[in-house]
Amino acid sequence: MLNFDFYNPTRVVFGEGTIARLDELVPADARVLVLYGGGSAERNGTLAEVQAALGSRRVQRFGGIEPNPSYETLMKAVELIHREGIDFLLAVGGGSVIDGTKFVAAAVKHAGDPWEILQTRGKSVSSALPFGCVLTLPATGSEMNCASVVTRKSVNAKLGFFSRQVFPRFSVLDPVKTYTLPPRQIANGVVDAFVHVAEQYLTYPVSAAVQDRYAESLLQTLIEVGPKALATPQDYDVRANLMWAATQALSGPVGAGVPQDWATHMIGHELTALHGLDHAQTLAIVLPTLLNERRTPKRAKLLQYAERVWNIRDGDEDARIDAAIARTREFFESLGVKTRLADYGIGANAIDALVAQLEAHGMTALGEHRDLDLTTSRRILEACL
């Protein structure tokens, strides 16, 4: 097992009716800005429930944070905070709203150009406004980590940053709030959580038995509850397990003391930036092909994955790896998430621009061994067609 430094200060308040506890979680004298996405939080009554729980606090709203939150939109929130003297943020939504809130929290306190936060991957962040979350979409795990990804539309860049300054103070997780989500969002959430675990698990062995079993249990849980979440949208136990699995997928313990990949995410980010695909769609496209391309350095973990997650024990080693990768692709497809670029109208003429974007953003040595170069990324993208 590799050395690690694990830290996660986020308080999780989980269960039905827990939005009412915002009254005890948000400082009584706070001047609050509630950040949210589209109109669903308003239509389904979540914003009204949040407002009621905040009581007599001074509360303002900032809506319109997009899926793949844009730098341009978020900077409008920064301006509002400076103008109105806001001192506490509350994200109400899924991973995009929470990621966006993290950037806003850091940008408000940043002395220079806020774009530096993303250009330096968070190294320039020294402080941030405090914030909490009300999670409405299980997917990214942003509600319990210190990572954020933001898109700057004007330069076609989708970049991430990390900083301990942007851990949420608390996150309220009520599975009931997921009942009315469209099937596409639930399916995307399952894929997103699955690939988060895979990026930390499908690398190479380092005798990290606890982390391996933890990862495998999360993958098996997602395989079990993902289809059920689509088939029975108001099954509380199913939605609760999906919500908690998605949170745990990227809250720290799975990746502590083990090598991590994240090449699927880096390649996927460029697909979103240039073609507007959902984040999870890009992951479903890239992961199966990347696993096949990297089957040699990942061989031991792919065989372990085949046996422990998919119960594949018959055939020679290559046949078992083939079967595990095929089952992964089939799982994504069974949720309604397509796994080929052609499914989204993207052809071979798009590859050059995608590779150029990877180069422009310094994504030239990816993967757990930092040996996945642009030539390999091109091969992966071509195999995704």
pLDDT value of position 39 = 76
**Tokens matching residue 49:** 């429930």
Residue 282 CA to residue 68 CA, distance in Å, equals: 12
Amino acid at 178: T
Residue 104 CA to residue 122 CA, distance in Å, equals: 13
pLDDT value of position 43 = 82
Query: Cα 227–233–238 angle (5° rounding)?
Result: 65
pLDDT digits (tens, 9 = 90+) for 306-355: 999 999 999 999 999 999 999 999 999 999 999 999 999 999 999 999 99
Which has the minimum average pLDDT: 31-45, 54-68, 173-187, 242-256?
A: 31-45
pLDDT band at 49 (very low <50, low <70, confident <90, very high): very high
**Tokens matching residue 296:** 């040699």
**Tokens matching residue 55:** 């009581």
Residue 36 CA to residue 55 CA, distance in Å, equals: 19
Q: Which residues contact 131 (CB under 8 A, 6 or more apart)?
A: 88, 89, 90, 91, 101, 102, 105, 166, 168, 169
Going from the N-terminus, what domains does the chain have, and what CATH number goes with each? Answer: 11-177 (3.40.50.1970), 182-383 (1.20.1090.10)
Amino acid at 108: V
Residue 5 CA to residue 3 CA, distance in Å, equals: 7
pLDDT value of position 265 = 97
Parallel/antiparallel/unpaired status of strands 147-152 and 157-162? antiparallel
Instruction: Read off the pTM.
Output: 0.95
Give the mean pLDDT of 374-384. 98
Residue 125 CA to residue 179 CA, distance in Å, equals: 36
Beta bridge partners of 131: 89
Beta bridge partners of 366: 372
Is 36 a residue whose pLDDT tops 90?
Answer: yes
pLDDT digits (tens, 9 = 90+) for 118-155: 999 999 999 999 999 999 999 999 999 999 999 998 88
Within 10 A of 206 (CB to CB), how many other CB atoms are there? Answer: 12
CA atoms lying within 13 Å on the CB side of residue 370:
1
Residue 270 CA to residue 350 CA, distance in Å, equals: 11
Report which secondary-structure segment, H or E, holds 380: helix 374-383
Residue 106 CA to residue 126 CA, distance in Å, equals: 8
Beta bridge partners of 316: none
Residue from 190, 189, 205, 203 nearest 328 by CA: 190
Is 288 a residue whose pLDDT tops 80?
Answer: yes
